[in-house]
Amino acid sequence: MTTSHLTMEQLLAVRDGDRSEPAYADAHQHVGECDGCRLELDRLHQRTARLRALPRMTPARNQFPAVRTRVVAERRQRRLRAVGIGGLAIAASLALVVMGRDLVQPNRLDAEQQIATAKSESQQLEQKLHDWDPQSRVLNSRAAVMVMEIEDRIADLDVRLAQTQESDRQLVLWQQRVGLMNTLVEVHLTRASNVGF
Amino acid sequence: MDATAMQDAETVITKARLGDPVALEALYRAYSGPVYNLARRICRTTEDAEDVLQETFFEVCRSIRNYRGDGSIWGWIRSVASSKALMRLRRNRYRETDELDAEYVPSAKEASPGLRMDLEAAMDRLTVTARAVVWLHDVEGYTHDEIAEQMGRTVSFSKSQLARAHSRLRVWLGDEATV
């Protein structure tokens, strides 16, 4: 049985029902017998209740546009990295086209050339968007939603491209990518405004 | 917490997990208030709290695919927010060479039993670590184990921070005079 008043650690253990605290049982019993410690425990409860009742603080401004911009920028970076790898693939494809011209079937060669062209167009559009520097510009909410949707679809295409070996299927996917990239560039060029003072 | 603020919370969460921007914005609208409040109570400045709010929702947008629905969505978002807020405290410590764990020594005037401080001011007087522990434990309901894990410290560190903080609050709020 504790004879002196409880320490704050012991009072907190009693308040929280923390039985892992040494001498919890003694402290709990002490509170029942000591008016001073019971009063102190009541104050602790009141203080906690007052903390919980403090007014809620709210942000002064909507941060979601900034979050959205960062999400879009990150997706763009990911895509650029993917296209960087794609750039190597383009070089490899062109080398294959040149070196293996006599070895492949004419219709297959045609598909490879068309894929190489679509990849090159896609890369040029990525470069155009990069030069436009979308991060230094702002989009209205509707345009930003459009951008995110288009970027999601491009990301989905990239996943499917990475999984596809068949030339004809790759060609279709690359052509779809060029179409989406064109739309993306157009949205940025027509809907964005400068961030400036 | 504010899930009621969202129309059809489950649908919103499902869409948000698929990256739907409208659903992500709905999550922001529902939980930005509680996240900011937590951040503001832990961080020193409104600027830091706003940064934590932004960092939290950026992480939510990136990682919501990993939310498996084991606990409440608010519990998950709150754990991201508290982690970001504590990270901000650590970063400020390095940037400002501010020793967060240093004892705060009140002046003779502040320590005077005759002085009554309001609770907000008293909380601001605590070290940032102590204030974070008080808020996370007493208001947000985190256990000492959870706080210790988030802070990279021991359970006894969390307990002693809480006890010391309450001892100081008790003095600054003027309760000791009537004991």
Residue B92, domain CATH: 1.10.1740.10
Q: Is B157 on the interface with A (CB under 8 A)?
A: no
Cβ-based contacts of A7 with chain B (< 8 Å): 163
- CATH number of residue B155's parent domain: 1.10.10.10
Q: State whether B15 and B94 are in the same domain.
A: yes
What does R_g of chain A's alpha carbons equal in angstroms?
32
The phi and psi torsions of A138 (rounded to 5 degrees) equal -115, 150
Q: Is B22 on the interface with A (CB under 8 A)?
A: yes
B63, B98, B133 - which closes a domain: B98
pLDDT of residue B112 exceeding 60, the answer is no
pLDDT at A196: 42
- The domain total for chain B is 2
Q: Is A19 on the interface with B (CB under 8 A)?
A: no
Q: Which residues contact B40 (CB under 8 A, 6 or more apart)?
A: A57, B46, B49
Domain span at residue B18 reads: 1-98
Q: State whether B91 and B154 are in the same domain.
A: no
Cβ-based contacts of A58 with chain B (< 8 Å): 33, 36-37
Print pLDDT tens along chain A (197 aa): 556 899 999 999 999 998 887 788 899 999 999 999 999 999 999 999 999 999 999 999 999 988 988 888 887 777 766 665 555 555 555 555 555 555 555 566 688 888 989 988 888 888 888 887 776 776 776 777 778 778 878 877 887 887 788 888 889 999 999 999 998 888 888 876 654 43
At B124, the amino acid letter reads D
Cβ-based contacts of A61 with chain B (< 8 Å): 50
H/E element holding A137? strand A137-138
pLDDT at A44: 94
Q: Is A186 on the interface with B (CB under 8 A)?
A: no
Is residue A122 a contact partner of residue A180, using CB atoms and an 8 Å limit?
Answer: no
Cβ-based contacts of A39 with chain B (< 8 Å): 178-179
Q: State whether B78 and B107 are in the same domain.
A: no
B98, B125, B140 - which closes a domain: B98
DSSP B65: G
B46, B65, B98 - which closes a domain: B98
**Alpha carbon distance B81, A96 (integer Å):** 51
- Mind telling me how many Å the CA of B29 is from chain A's nearest CA? 9
Q: What is the ipTM of this complex?
A: 0.81
Q: Which of B155, B49, B167, B148 is nearest to B103 (CA)?
A: B167
Cβ–Cβ below 8 Å for B21 and A70: no
